[in-house]
Amino acid sequence: MNIYVLMKKTFDTEEKIQISGGAIEEEGAEFIINPYDEYAIEEAINLRDEHGGEVTVVTVGDEDSEQQLRTALAMGADQAVLINTEDDVEDGDQYTTSTVISTYLKDKEVDLILAGNVAIDQASGQVGPRVADQLDMPYVTTITEISVDGEEVNIVRDVEGDEEKVQTSLPLLVTCQQGLNEPRYPSLPGIMKAKKKPLEELELDDLDLDEDDVEAKTETTDVFLPPEKEAGKVLEGETDEQVKELVSLLRSEAKVL
């Protein structure tokens, strides 16, 4: 089975993020594999171990994305591909990323593509479905369970707290939701092996693409941090007095009544 995983390098949102000039300052920031993509990587490895084949992790980004690809290889992926757009694309968006990836995959023998449900930095959830659409491939989003039997695929997907069962067939693209599995930590032997696993680096020219082909369809006008939470208020007095004060605050300050 030829399995591909779409991976993105994202900011570690558990670390402090600085905003300057309407953009996130990358200098000094910590980067990680997008957590939802870790579910995709883990499931791809599990399916390969069960059915045989290879797992290839693909990312679109800059040369620093190699670190996250090496982590995916250390987890157990077989090979990785970095499509470096740093010198060709100034401000890309989901259309840019999906067009680059789908162009890379269009001539490949693909059985299954796994991607994260969303990326924690922008949370658009668009790249996976866009890739599937551009490859004319069926897709199922927010999966929490998947089993493959020959060409038949049985899936359970999350639907706003409930679940839906889907039966479909390969080739297929799925996006992975929390609860699908528990991603492994790279082991020391895995880290050592990852150094010798193939990591291919491509540019737009290698895909017969130019900047105009992947020009962003959207524009980010501003990036800002949410306002700091104000200190809470402790209501004093008897219960009926507290209720009156609470109603007054909800009406005059919170303006929700």
Architecture of domain 2-214 in CATH?
3-Layer(aba) Sandwich (3.40)
Distance of CA 101 to the CA centre of its chain: 14
The pair of three-digit structure tokens given for residue 109, joined into one six-digit string:
């023998």
Tens digits of per-residue pLDDT, 163-199?
999 999 999 999 999 999 999 999 999 999 999 999 9
**Average pLDDT for 68-97:** 93
Nearest to 178 by CA among 67, 77, 37: 37
Identify the helix (H) or strand (E) that includes residue 89.
none
Contact between residue 25 and residue 18 where contact means Cβ atoms under 8 Å apart = yes
Per the DSSP assignment, residues forming a β-bridge with 55 are 3
For residues 92 and 239, give the distance between their C-alpha atoms in angstroms, rounded to a whole number: 56
Tens digits of per-residue pLDDT, 214-245?
999 988 887 777 787 777 788 888 899 889 88
Rg (CA), the chain: 22
Above pLDDT 70, what percent of the chain? 98
SS3 249: helix
For residues 158 and 143, give the distance between their C-alpha atoms in angstroms, rounded to a whole number: 6
Domain layout of the chain by residue ranges: 2-214, 228-257
pTM of the model: 0.86
